[in-house]
């Protein structure tokens, strides 16, 4: 007995799911790049020269103070802190 082939409707549903997933992925990536371009609160944009380790730690301290004061939420605090700490030079 032969197996039944996939119906056109099922193939179309699968294509729709793939298109929806691709659109969702693109939206997520565009949001991520837009937030990177905007800059995080408490950071200074770089002008080609990298900030020193002490400047980065000072910025982390400022962000921490903003979080303690309630000026920024936890998610913004964590994202900014992670970004700043990732820029620290490793010797």
29-52 pLDDT tens trace:
888 777 766 655 545 554 557 778
Residue 15, domain member (yes or no): no
pLDDT given for residue 45 in this prediction: 52
- In whole angstroms, what is the distance from residue 62 CA to residue 57 CA? 9
Assess if residue 86 is contained within a domain: yes
Query: Is 80 part of a structural domain of the chain?
Result: yes
pLDDT confidence of residue 30: 82
> What is the per-residue pLDDT across 37-91, written as a single tens digit (0 to 9) for each?
665 554 555 455 777 888 888 999 999 999 999 898 999 999 999 998 888 887 6
Query: Could you tell me the residue range of the domain that residue 62 belongs to?
Result: 51-91
Is the whole-model pTM more than 0.75?
Answer: no
The number of domains in the chain is 1
User: What Å distances lie between residue 47 and 32, 38, 51, CA to CA?
Assistant: 21, 15, 9
Q: Is 57 part of any domain?
A: yes
């Amino acid at each position: 007995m032969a197996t039944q082939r996939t119906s056109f409707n099922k193939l179309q549903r699968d294509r729709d799911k793939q298109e929806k997933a691709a659109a969702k992925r693109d939206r997520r990536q565009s949001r991520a790049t837009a937030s990177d371009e905007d800059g995080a609160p408490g950071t200074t944009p770089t002008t080609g020269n990298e900030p020193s380790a002490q400047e980065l730690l000072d910025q982390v301290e400022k962000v921490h103070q903003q979080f303690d004061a309630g000026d920024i939420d936890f998610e913004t605090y964590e994202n900014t802190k992670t970004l700043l700490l990732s820029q620290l030079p490793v010797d």
